[in-house]
Structure formats: C-alpha cells, structure tokens
Amino acid sequence: MNEDTPETPAPVSEAALRLAEAFVFASSEPVSLRALGQVLPEDCDAELVVAALAARYAGRGVELVEVAGGVRFQTAPDLAPLLRRVIEVPRRLPRVAMETLAIIAYHQPVTRPEIEEIRGASLSQATMDALLEASLIAPRGHKEAPGRPTLWGTTAAFLAQFGLKDLADLPRRADLLVEVPAPGGA
Amino acid sequence: MNEDTPETPAPVSEAALRLAEAFVFASSEPVSLRALGQVLPEDCDAELVVAALAARYAGRGVELVEVAGGVRFQTAPDLAPLLRRVIEVPRRLPRVAMETLAIIAYHQPVTRPEIEEIRGASLSQATMDALLEASLIAPRGHKEAPGRPTLWGTTAAFLAQFGLKDLADLPRRADLLVEVPAPGGA
Amino acid sequence: MAEAPAEPPLIETLVLRLEGFEGPLDLLLELARGQKLDLARISILALVEQYLAVIEGARRVRLELAADWLVMAAWLAWLKSRLLLPAGTEEAEAGEEAAETLAARLAELQAMRAASAWLAARPQLGQEVFARAAPEDFSEIDRSRLRLDVPALLRAYLAALRRSGGQRRYRPKPMTLWSVQDALRRLGAMLGGLPDWRTLETFLPENLAEPLQRRAALSATLLAGLEMARGGAIDLRQETPFGPILLRPAVAGEEDA
C-alpha cells in the first residue's frame, strides 16, 4: 500500500482527507474507492486521497491497507502479541479447514468430491460448516454432472480475512511447488 | 512523575502511543484507563498516553472522545452529517388494507358496508385510516340511502403508486374472475 | 539413488500413528518427503515399497485397518508389479502412466499444503490484525414509502372474493344473445301474418341496442330460416351476392320460385 507513496504528500485538501479518514474509519468492512468517491467532493480523486491517507498512517498503530477490493484501517501486525492479551480472539481454523480453503481458493469453482480427491481423504461436515460459518466460502452454482453437485468458491470475506486485494494476490501454483530453495539442492 | 504537563505534548513514547491507538481502535467497548494500563509498559502513565493520543487526533476526521467507562474513537461531529445516507426501505401494506384497497378500486364508488359485505368481514377504522393517510383513497360524496353513507374511491396517488395511467389499466373484473376457483363448485 | 529406502525407525513411528494421517495419500506424501528429494524426482517404486511395509507393519500390530488403507495397498501392489516389468511392454507402460498420475497427485497435494501454509502465515483479520470493532453506521432507514404493485393488488382482491365466496358465489351473467331456438319461435309466429316477401331484418326482435346482439340475432334468424326452408315451411331468395335475403311462407303448388 505504501510502496507507491514516497515522501511527498499528494496534493490533497485537508478537508477531503478528513472526510475520507472518517468514512473509512467508521466502517469495519473494506470501503471501495467507488463508495469513497461518492462521499468526496466531485473534483477529488479518491485514489490520491487514499494514497495520502495511507502515507499519513504509515508506521502508526493503525494502518490503512488495501484488501478485498477496497481499503480499511487495521491494527499494525507487529502489535498482535500485545493486543491478543486484551482482545478476544476467535479460534484459529484447524489445519484441515485451512487445507480445504486453500484447495477451494486454487481450484474454484470446485465440488466436494473434487476436494476429497485432491486431499485423498473424505471431508467432514464440521470442516465445511466451519468455513461456511466464517463466510469464507459460498456456493457457486452446480456442476453439470450426474447429481449436479454444488460448486464452491471463496468470498470477499476470505480476501478480507487474509488481507488479499484479490485472488490474483495468491502465489502462483508454480511458485508454491518450488519449496524453500534447498541449500545445495540442484 | 510528569503530572503537571500542561499544553506541551506529554513525553510519551511512540510505542505506547501506537499500542494505545490500536487497542482503542480494535476494542468493541470504550477502553478504560485501567484496561489500557494493563497492556502498556509498567512505567507508562495511561492518562498521559490518552492525552497524547487525543492531541494527535484533535481536528482530524476521527477524534478520541471520553465516554462513560473510558475512551473511544468517534467521527468528528462536523463530518457526521456529510456521511449520513438515507436508505429507503419501502414497506408493504398490511393484507387487510390491500384487500380493502382492491375492493374500492374495483367497486368504486363504494360504501364501507358494501366493502364489508364483499370481503365478508368487518373493516377496522385503522385500515381505512391507513389508506386515507397514504392518500390512496378519498371520499366521493354520499350514497342516497338511509344514513347517507360516505362513498369511497381511489385517488390520483393510487394510480401513481401502482404505475397505472388510469383505472382502465387494471385487468377487467371479468378477466380476473374466470380464474377464481369457485368454492364448492359451480 | 534410492539407497535409503525405508529407515526402520520412520516406519515404526508411522505404524503407530497411522490414524494420525489424513488418509493414504497423506502418508504417501509424508513418505515421499522422507526421500528428501523434490517431488518430481522421487522414486515411486521406493515409495510403494515403503507404503506396503508400513501397512504390513500395522497389520502385524493390529489386524483391523481402515478399508481405504488396504485399497491403496492393493493398488500400489499392482503398481509395483507393473513397475518391475521390463520396460517397453504394455503392462510396464500402464505402470509408468499410473506412477505419473500418482506423482502428479502427490505434487498437487503438496502444492495445496504449501498454499495452506502460505495463507496461515499471513496476518489474519481477527488473529494478528484487527479491524475497527465498534463501527459507526451513518445510514438512516426511511420506511415512509409504500411498496405497491398491481399483482399484489389483484391477489388481494381475489383473496377477498374467495373468502366471501362461500356466501356469494360468482355466477357468470346469463347470455342475452338471440339463439336459433328463439329465432325459430319468432319466425314461426310472425310468418302467418306476413304473406309476401320480406327481408330477414324484418324478423329481428326490437330493442337490440348493441351491434353484437344485432349480428347474433341476424345469424340466428338466417339459420332458423334455412332450417324452415329445408322443412318446406318457407321460401328463401337472394337476388344478388351479399344482397338482402328475402323470405315468405311457402306457397303451395309453386315449387320453384
């Protein structure tokens, strides 16, 4: 987010900056540039305002980040250990759920039998329920195959939870297969 | 102890400031000085940190305000009206009112006892009031009958609300009634 | 190269915690990683032998094993037999193909494991980073407008009529059009008093206001006239096409007019 905002603050009026700050701050969900543009004065470039705002918050306890097709404020990651002591944190997703989520993210739209085929193990209802309950996955129609099994895909909440701008933010599969370069490995 | 530090920004470490900022931001309830003190380093005065944080946000789009039980962030009062958005959620007429309106539309001018006879149920004043208040019906003189009961008809607002050019736009009664399954058989 | 096949200690521990694996593919992947080679270069044959050794070990400890472990063992035994055949035979080729498929499946599972680890390492919302927990909502709900549409109006009307239908059943209005029976009766009654040729219109009933009623009566009377002419009671005549149709009581002895 802050890479492309060097030192020079963008020529953005303080009024626009305050308004954008208030608007994004008020929401716990990512705010799209379109929505932001509707609040800002006509002659105001939402992108510039966001860049200026991000620059202002850089290094602070709360930062402006770009996720899930919008921007939101969130606490700086380095504060997590201290904040976890005072803020109630939901349980982490179990390993099976994370693996299933990764398969859905990379193979979407995908059916449950296809997920099971990739994992080589059957998928418990509890895992599907956990992913659905967290709104990380959603049905994406049916596959035109016998039994018309439900197709699954990831949601905007998935992007928001893992701090991804969009699905293209996921590493390419080819890059995944290259394990940590083995020292001395060919 | 720096209790008497008036205007000059309190000598508060940036680390403490960041932590307090993140904690107040991520907390669903106002944060008390005591709670804040629990995450801050031992030698840190929560009160001073709060004062410094409030100073940093003064005049910005979001302000640190003191409320019962602690402090929380809040949109600057002058910006709230700019962010206000009205969401229209049109409501439906209750069933009885809709039925009454339909009968008036098809049988106008019609008296209240006649409506009751057609519906086969008595009609509450509240229902008539609701229709009158929405300007969907209006009195159309009196019937020359004992008691001279008021005759009711639909209004121009009725046509506008239903998107009708005139009453002839409604399907003719005969066309509708063909489809009525005769109760008890013909 | 695969000179370090199944290290006994590894197998021992695997036997004991077979249940800890997410199925046979999971175990195979673990064994493949044990070869300390990248997945593209693992020896499928060595892998198969390790798997079979683990399953054999597990069966010695306890007899019952989940079906999918045994199905995989049977399939791998088949694969092993194919891989041991001299290259070039059809069976050996089938074995090569199956080995490639297995390697691809392991690679895919490996990739998804890596993706899962990549995701898990990201700062997660609600775990490492936190959004504003007390958002402010500036939207105001305006419920003053009514949502009205004609279909709902019609449904309501029909519902009202249906409800009272028990007492006041709808009856279609009786048809008031002049029928052939009516026309026959009227023609029969009038003809006696009118000996000469008369146009068809003469015999229409009075008070037919609407064009539809008039046309219906005219066609009914024509049909009645044809019927009576066939029976010999009257004569019919039309001078020109589309000209007036004339009729009179049949005159005895004057068969052809």
Whether residue A26 and residue C132 make contact (CB cut-off 8 A), yes or no, is yes
Interface test with C, best of A21, A124, A162, A165 (most C CBs within 10 A): A162
Domain assignment of residue B47, given as a range: 14-81
What whole-number percentage of chain B has pLDDT above 90? Answer: 33
Q: Which of B27, B50, B60 to mutate to test the interface with A (most CBs of A within 10 A)?
A: B60
Q: Does A19 touch chain B (CB under 8 A)?
A: yes
Q: Are residues A122 and A160 in the same domain?
A: yes
pLDDT of residue B182: 46
Helix (H, G, I), strand (E, B) or coil at A170: coil
What is residue C27's predicted lDDT score, i.e. its pLDDT?
83
Asked whether the predicted pLDDT for residue B1 surpasses 60, the reply is no
| Rounded CA separation A114/A182 (Å) | 31
Indicate whether B162 and B105 sit together in one domain: yes
- Looking at the fold, whether B112 and B162 belong to one and the same domain comes out as yes
Q: Which chain B residue has its CA at the smallest distance from C154's CA? A: B102
| Separation between Cα atoms, residue C19 and residue B87, nearest integer Å | 55
Residue of A22, A82, A87 lying closest to B75 (CB–CB): A22
In chain A, what residues touch B25 (CB-CB under 8 Å)? Answer: 61-62, 73, 75
Q: Any residues with CB less than 8 A from the CB of A110 and at least 6 apart, and which?
A: A103, A104, A151, A152, A153
Q: Inter-chain contact C148–B85, Cβ cutoff 8 Å?
A: no
- Compare CB distances from A77 to C24, C129, C137 and report the shortest one's residue: C129
pTM attached to this predicted model: 0.64
pLDDT reported for residue B2: 46
Q: What is the predicted pLDDT for the residue at B6? A: 47
Strand-pairing partners, residue C246, are C199, C237
Percent of chain C with pLDDT over 90: 4
Comparison of pLDDT for C65 and B50, the residue scoring more: B50
- In this predicted structure, the answer to whether residue A128 has a pLDDT above a threshold of 80 is yes
Same domain (yes/no): B163, B103: yes
More confident site: C223 or B154: B154
Is B181 contained in some domain?
Answer: no
Contacts with A29 from chain C: Cβ below 8 Å? 131, 135
* Residue B183 in domain: no
Residue A54 has a pLDDT of 92
Query: What is the arithmetic mean of pLDDT over C62-84?
Result: 79
Is B165 touching C (CB cutoff 8 A)? no
Asked whether residue B166 is domain-assigned, the answer is yes
Q: Does B98 touch chain C (CB under 8 A)?
A: yes
- How large is the ipTM? 0.71
Q: Alpha-carbon distance A31 to A154, whole Å?
A: 19
Q: What is the mean pLDDT of residues B86-108?
A: 89
Which residue from C28, C39, C125 is facing A161, i.e. has the nearest CB?
A: C125
Residue type, C216: A
Final residue of a domain: which of A81, A112, A133? A81
Are residues A125 and A159 both part of a single domain?
Answer: yes
Name the pLDDT band for A184 (thresholds 50, 70, 90). very low
Claim to verify: residue A105 and residue A158 sit in the same structural domain: yes
Residues 6+ apart with CB under 8 A from C101: none
Task: Let me know if residue B106 belongs to a domain.
Answer: yes
**Position with higher pLDDT, C163 vs B32:** B32
Q: Is A98 on the interface with C (CB under 8 A)?
A: yes
Q: How many other CB atoms are found less than 10 A from the CB of residue C116? A: 23
CB contact under 8 A, B27 and C163: no
Mark yes or no for CB contact B20/A76 under 8 Å.
Answer: no
Domain end residue (candidates: B47, B81, B115): B81
Per CB-CB distance under 8 Å, the chain C contacts of B177 are 161, 170
Given a cut of 80, whether residue B141 has pLDDT beyond it is yes
Contact C133 B27 (CB under 8 A): yes
Residues of C contacting chain B (CB within 8 angstroms): 130-134, 136, 138-143, 145-150, 152-154, 156-171
Mean pLDDT, chain A, as a whole number?
85
Chain A CB within 8 Å of residue B87 CB: no
pLDDT tens across C99-140, in order? 888 888 888 888 899 999 999 999 999 888 998 888 888 888
Read off the pLDDT band of B57 (50, 70, 90): very high
* For residues A67-73, average pLDDT: 91
How would you write chain B as a 3-class SS string? CCCCCCCCCCCCCHHHHHHHHHHHHHCCCCECHHHHHHHCCCCCCHHHHHHHHHHHHCCCCEEEEEECCEEEEEECCCCHHHHCEEEECCECCCHHHHHHHHHHHHHCCEEHHHHHHHHCCCCCHHHHHHHHHCCCEEEEEECCCCCCCEEEEECHHHHHHHCCCCHHHCCCHHHHHCCCCCCCCC
Question: Across the interface, do A99 and C130 touch by the CB < 8 Å criterion?
Answer: no
C-beta separation of C51 from C73 below 8 A? yes
3-state secondary structure chain C: CCCCCCCHHHHHHHHHCHHHCCCHHHHHHHHHHHCCCCHHHCCHHHHHHHHHHHHHHHHHHCCCCCHHHHHHHHHHHHHHHHHCCCCCCHHHHHHHHHHHHHHHHHHHHHHHHHHHHHHHCCCCECCCECCCCCCCCCEEEECCCECCCHHHHHHHHHHHHHHHCCCCCCCCCCCCCCCHHHHHHHHHHHHCCCCCCEEHHHHCCCCCCCHHHHHHHHHHHHHHHHHHHHCCCEEEEECCCCCCEEEEECCCCCCCC
Q: Tokens 């720096």 sit at which residue?
A: B2
Confidence label for A155 from pLDDT (cuts 50, 70 and 90)? very high
A53/chain B closest Cα distance in angstroms: 11
Q: Tokens at residue B18, please? A: 């960041």
Q: Are residues B125 and B165 in the same domain?
A: yes
Same structural domain for residues B66 and B102?
A: no
CA distance C101 to chain B (A): 49
Q: Are residues A137 and A77 in the same domain?
A: no
Has residue A87 been placed in a domain?
Answer: no
Task: Tell me if A178 is assigned to some domain.
Answer: no
Residue A39 backbone dihedrals phi, psi, to 5 degrees? -85, -35
Distance CA C48, CA C77 (A): 7
DSSP single-letter state for residue A166? S
Report yes or no: B173 at the A interface, CB cutoff 8 Å. no
In a domain, B88, yes or no: no
Neighbours, chain C (3 or more CB pairs < 8 A): A, B
CA dihedral A117, A122, A123, A125 (to 10 degrees): 140
Domain match, A104 and A164 both:
yes
The Cα diameter of chain A in Å comes to: 60
Same domain, A115 and A74: no
From A23, which residue of chain B is nearest by alpha-carbon distance? B83
Element (H, E) at A1: none
Q: What is the CATH number of the domain that holds B55?
A: 1.10.10.10
- Asked if the Cβ–Cβ distance from A28 to C110 is below 8 Å, we say no
C-alpha separations of C183 from B45, B162, C20, C173 in Å: 112, 48, 97, 21
Q: Is position A5 within any domain?
A: no
> Which of the residues B84, B99, B167 would you substitute to probe the C interface, choosing the one with the greatest number of C C-beta atoms within 10 Å?
B99
User: pLDDT class for A186, splitting at 50, 70, 90?
Assistant: very low
Coil, strand or helix: which one is A44?
coil
Same domain, A77 and A142: no
Q: What is the pLDDT of residue C206?
A: 75
Domain C-terminal end among A81, A113, A134: A81
Find, in chain A, the residue whose alpha carbon is nearest to that of B21.
A61
Please give the tally of structural domains in chain B. Answer: 2
